[in-house]
Amino acid sequence: MLDILRDRRSIRKYKDVKIDEQIIDQLKEAALRSPSSRGINPWRLLFITDKDMLEVLSRAKQSGSGFLKGASLGVVVIARDEESDVWIEDCSIASIILQLTGQSLGLGSCWIQIRNRMHNDGQTSEDYIRKALDLPEGSKVECMIAFGYPDEIKEPHPKSELEYGKILES
């Protein structure tokens, strides 16, 4: 697991190669096994491979989401906030489980923050995605995750550059 954490980097360039359905199924299983406060599992996960929809979703933010159009898979992580007071945390946990599983399967990925972000001056990124995907009113969108086979190489961060000063001794 530590090797996966060492090697995982945010990848924004992907090869134009379809992800096999068996790999997508493994990502789904991993997400469904994610820990959740009190076992509520408030998240809902939309696995999107349609290139036209990925293009639409890539415009969800003014910047920082455009690379989704080059991905083979996008996962939209949403929740119903009335189901859990810690839906944000639970969605975040499921998201990183997805990314680490993707890394273990040879995929690159990158988190795209949506909650509290703007599509334009008059519309939130959440509202844009809710409309694009025809999501029920009250759906909260935490993030999207782009997946694909990496078309860029990023070296792991050297251990010497880790911020050990943020580890507090008791």
Q: Break the chain into its structural domains and give their ranges.
A: 2-166
Q: Cite the beta strand spans of the chain per DSSP E.
A: 43-48, 73-80, 108-113, 118-120, 123-124, 139-148
pLDDT digits (tens, 9 = 90+) for 87-117: 999 999 999 999 999 999 999 999 999 999 9
The rounded percent of the chain whose pLDDT value lies above 70 is 100
pLDDT digits (tens, 9 = 90+) for 17-54: 999 999 999 999 999 999 999 999 999 999 999 999 99
- Give domain 2-166's CATH superfamily: NADH Oxidase (3.40.109.10)
CA atoms in the 13 A half-sphere facing the CB of 147: 29
